[in-house]
């Protein structure tokens, strides 16, 4: 397989009851940051959040949507990545104060990470952890520790020059008998993974990289999964939001502006609806 970027690889260390993931992103990341005029620090933060969300999504056994949001009192009010089990991702950062700062603490400040999972079938659920650690990688590991009690470690990389991001995850599987040995194996694999260099993760394909890191282990790779940028906004969704607005308010916007305009926060697509489009909502059915 030639395509190494915009791909997520999952693998198992069969004998050790540990799983791993590697994700390397280029175009999907560039599409998310395009047209938004983010500073270098914000681009990096969104890239790391995108990478972490891909890794996290791939650990889920369900079909559905996931949203990972960072929110706090810093110059970036929030940063959010939204995706699904098919690794279709989109994201946005709300910058409330211009800044050249870099890093999670400097940009988000004091705050939380909110992870919302909406399975296709079943009830949505939400996990919240305080951003107590210095890096996003540590915060995500902390989330797994607190909410799932699963030892997990993740590594995140960002290359500002080529606008690429990448990351890796190592996670204990809850299926072994000898817990003590399992933890030792997990830590051993973490030590190996810790030797990844940025220039390797941004230049080597997954197989070469995994061989370099784990050639003494038995690694079973699953089929790679493509990661794509895709915004889920549509005229239909806009109209569904508009249907919640009072008819009298719509009528007065139409009288003033001739149409009702909406812009997608994520991809900045403009939508415009005239009186004909809005006809079904202009008679007040609520009373
Ligand atoms: Zn959109």
Q: How far is the CA of 263 from the centre of ligand 1 (A)?
A: 8
Q: How far is the CA of 19 from the centre of ligand 1 (A)?
A: 34
173-183-57-175 Cα dihedral, nearest 10 degrees: 10
Beta strands in 131-208 (DSSP E): 152-159, 164-172
Q: Is residue 2 domain-resident?
A: no
Q: How far is the CA of 81 from the centre of ligand 1 (A)?
A: 13
**How would residue 3 be classed by pLDDT, with cut points 50, 70 and 90?**
low
Q: Report the distance separating Cα 163 and Cα 30, nearest Å.
A: 7
Whether residues 273 and 182 share a domain: the answer is no
Structure token digits, residue 84: 């699904």
Percent of residues, the chain, with pLDDT higher than 70: 98
Q: How far is the CA of 235 from the centre of ligand 1 (A)?
A: 10
Q: Report the distance separating Cα 44 and Cα 54, nearest Å.
A: 15
**How would residue 136 be classed by pLDDT, with cut points 50, 70 and 90?**
very high
Residue 2 has pLDDT above 80, yes or no: no
Contact 31, 83 (CB under 8 A): no
Strand partners for 93:
79
Mark the residues whose beta carbon lies below 5 A from ion ligand 1: 231, 233, 264, 266-267, 269
Whether residues 153 and 266 share a domain: the answer is no
Whether residues 216 and 254 share a domain: the answer is no
Q: Is residue 13 domain-resident?
A: yes
Structure token digits, residue 188: 């051993």
Q: How far is the CA of 84 from the centre of ligand 1 (A)?
A: 15
Q: Is residue 1 domain-resident?
A: no
Long-range contacts, 151-157 (Cβ 8 Å, 24+) = 151/183, 151/186, 153/190, 153/193, 154/52, 154/55, 155/193, 155/194, 155/196, 156/48, 156/51, 156/52, 157/51, 157/196, 157/198, 157/201, 157/202
Beta strand 228-229 with 88-95 is: parallel
Q: How does pLDDT run across 194-211, given as a tens digit for each residue?
A: 999 999 999 999 999 999
Q: Is residue 201 domain-resident?
A: yes
- Asked which of 77-81, 98-102, 154-158 is least confident by mean pLDDT, the reply is 98-102
Q: How far is the CA of 269 from the centre of ligand 1 (A)?
A: 6
Whether residues 120 and 247 share a domain: the answer is no
CATH of the domain at 261: 3.90.1280.10
Whether residues 209 and 93 share a domain: the answer is yes
CATH of the domain at 187: 3.55.30.10
What is the total count of domains within the chain? 2
For residue 41, the SS3 value is helix
Q: How far is the CA of 271 from the centre of ligand 1 (A)?
A: 10
Whether residues 62 and 198 share a domain: the answer is yes
Q: How far is the CA of 245 from the centre of ligand 1 (A)?
A: 20
Looking at 189, 211, 229, the residue that finishes a domain is 229
Q: Report the distance separating Cα 43 and Cα 37, nearest Å.
A: 9
Q: How far is the CA of 260 from the centre of ligand 1 (A)?
A: 17
Whether residues 145 and 179 share a domain: the answer is yes
Residue 49 has pLDDT above 50, yes or no: yes
Q: How far is the CA of 171 from the centre of ligand 1 (A)?
A: 33
Range of the domain at 117: 7-229
Q: How far is the CA of 73 from the centre of ligand 1 (A)?
A: 26
Whether residues 144 and 267 share a domain: the answer is no
Q: Is residue 287 domain-resident?
A: no
Q: Work out the average pLDDT over 84-108.
A: 94
Q: Is residue 205 domain-resident?
A: yes
Q: How far is the CA of 230 from the centre of ligand 1 (A)?
A: 8
Q: How far is the CA of 268 from the centre of ligand 1 (A)?
A: 6
Q: Is residue 204 domain-resident?
A: yes
Whether residues 168 and 242 share a domain: the answer is no
Q: How far is the CA of 80 from the centre of ligand 1 (A)?
A: 14
Residue 286 has pLDDT above 60, yes or no: no
Q: Work out the average pLDDT over 253-257.
A: 94
Q: How far is the CA of 240 from the centre of ligand 1 (A)?
A: 15
Q: How far is the CA of 101 from the centre of ligand 1 (A)?
A: 27
Q: Is residue 260 domain-resident?
A: yes
Whether residues 85 and 219 share a domain: the answer is yes
Q: How far is the CA of 243 from the centre of ligand 1 (A)?
A: 19
50-53-55-57 Cα dihedral, nearest 10 degrees: -140
Whether residues 98 and 186 share a domain: the answer is yes
Q: Work out the average pLDDT over 255-276.
A: 93
Contact 51, 165 (CB under 8 A): yes
Whether residues 113 and 255 share a domain: the answer is no
What mean pLDDT is reported for the chain?
93
């Amino acid at each position: 397989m030639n395509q190494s970027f915009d791909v997520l690889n999952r693998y198992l260390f069969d004998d050790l009851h540990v799983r791993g993931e590697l994700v390397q992103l280029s175009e999907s990341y560039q599409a998310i940051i395009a047209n938004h005029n983010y500073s270098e620090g914000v681009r990096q933060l969104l890239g790391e959040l995108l990478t972490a969300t891909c890794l996290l999504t791939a650990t889920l056994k369900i079909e559905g949507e996931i949203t990972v949001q960072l929110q706090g009192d810093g110059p970036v009010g929030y940063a959010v990545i939204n995706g699904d089990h098919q690794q279709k991702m989109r994201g946005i950062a709300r910058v409330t104060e211009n800044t050249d700062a870099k890093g999670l603490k400097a940009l988000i400040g004091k705050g939380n990470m909110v992870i919302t999972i909406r399975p296709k079938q079943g009830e949505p659920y939400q996990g919240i952890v305080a951003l107590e650690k210095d890096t996003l990688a540590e915060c995500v590991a902390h989330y797994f520790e607190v909410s799932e009690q699963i030892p997990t470690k993740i590594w995140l990389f960002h290359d500002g020059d080529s606008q690429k991001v990448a990351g890796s995850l190592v996670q204990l599987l809850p299926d072994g008998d000898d817990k003590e040995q399992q933890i030792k194996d997990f830590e051993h694999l973490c030590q190996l993974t810790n030797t990844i260099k940025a220039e390797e993760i941004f230049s080597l394909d997954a197989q070469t990289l995994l061989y370099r890191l784990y050639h003494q282990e038995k690694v079973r790779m699953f089929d790679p999964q493509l990661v794509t940028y895709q915004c889920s906004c549509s005229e239909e969704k806009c109209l569904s939001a508009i249907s919640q607005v009072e008819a009298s308010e719509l009528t007065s916007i139409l009288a003033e502006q001739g149409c009702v305009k909406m812009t997608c926060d994520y991809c900045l697509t403009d939508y415009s609806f005239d009186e004909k489009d809005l006809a079904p909502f202009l008679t007040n059915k609520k009373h």
